[in-house]
Amino acid sequence: MDIVVKGRKTEVPERFRKHVAEKLKLEKIQKLDGKVISLDVEVSKEHNPRQADRCDRVEITLRSRGPVIRAEASAADPYAALDLATGKLEARLRKQHEKRHNRRGAGRLSAAVVADHVPGVAEYSMNGAAGHQEGETAVRTTRMGSLEVQGDGPLVVREKNHVAAPMTLDQAMEEMELVGHDFYLFVDSDTKEPSVVYRRHAYDYGVIHLRTDPLAERESGGAGGALGG
């Protein structure tokens, strides 16, 4: 397995590529996860002077036959960002490794009973759509990917497409922890509908289930602002 290092809107010097190979010890990673398929390192740079203390960003993505594990960090230089991201990756690998050996599904919740155990669980039907103002003329329209933006923004600066198999709520919560995000979009294996699990206060989690209803009226104020609850 090779480590693929690439830059996004920036050049990656050969010296840094060698440092990545020395920093990410493949033997150590494969000892924690023996089913690793690929390891990608993406380097990007923020040119805003106000963000000089975190202008360099490194994102490490590990793909295996199990869940994807991702770690990212920003710092004043790419070497420091790599150190921070590597530390996060190793911590998540160790956590996943311990779970595989110490937990075999005991005490896990299915999506059908999570409402009885997770505080503040929410359910929403897909009957909402973002509204738009009428009567406005001569408004500049910018197209970013599949989105049309009127006026000065906001703009979608990054768009990703993922292919994933349906999973249970507990699997989605576990993968959210592995990628280090505060929310995780997945297809519920019980309902076959899109759902989002998200981090609330302290160690509490919430979940939003979207259920399609073609007969429902499309009104403003649907699930779009629900994550703050």
Residue 126 has a pLDDT of 45
60 in Cβ contact with 24 (< 8 Å): yes
Burial letters 147-183, b for 16+ CB under 10 A, else e: eeeeeeeeeeeeeeeeeeeebbbbbbbbbbbbebeee
222 in Cβ contact with 127 (< 8 Å): yes
Q: Which two tokens stand for residue 130?
A: 């973002």
pLDDT digits (tens, 9 = 90+) for 142-181: 666 666 666 555 555 566 777 778 888 888 888 887 777 7
pLDDT digits (tens, 9 = 90+) for 178-190: 777 788 888 888 8
**In this structure, which amino acid lies at residue 105?**
G
Residue 162 has a pLDDT of 72
**In this structure, which amino acid lies at residue 169?**
L
Long-range CB pairs of 128-132, under 8 A, 24+ apart, other chains included:
128/218, 128/219, 128/220, 128/221, 128/222, 128/223, 128/224, 129/218, 129/219, 129/220, 129/222, 130/220, 130/224, 131/220
pLDDT digits (tens, 9 = 90+) for 41-92: 999 988 888 888 888 999 999 888 878 888 999 999 999 999 999 999 888 8
Q: Which of 68, 95, 69 is nearest to 163 (CA)?
A: 68
End-to-end CA distance of the chain: 43
Query: Residues of the chain with pLDDT > 70: what percent?
Result: 65
Q: Which of 206, 210, 209, 190 is nearest to 198 (CA)?
A: 206
The span from the CA of 180 to the CA of 154, in Å, is 25
Q: Which of 141, 151, 136, 198 is nearest to 172 (CA)?
A: 198
The span from the CA of 98 to the CA of 86, in Å, is 18
Confidence band (pLDDT; 50, 70, 90) for 211? confident
Against a cut of 0.75, is the pTM above it?
Answer: no
**What is the pLDDT of the chain when averaged over all its residues?**
75
Residues in Cβ contact with 70 at an 8 Å cutoff, skipping those fewer than 6 apart: 59, 60, 61, 62, 178, 179, 180
Confidence band (pLDDT; 50, 70, 90) for 140? low
Confidence band (pLDDT; 50, 70, 90) for 125? very low
pLDDT at 216 over 80: no
Tell me which of 41-50, 132-141, 175-184, 193-202 is least confident. Answer: 132-141
Tell me which of 17-26, 49-58, 185-194, 203-212 is least confident. Answer: 203-212
DSSP 153-177: --------------B-HHHHHHHHH
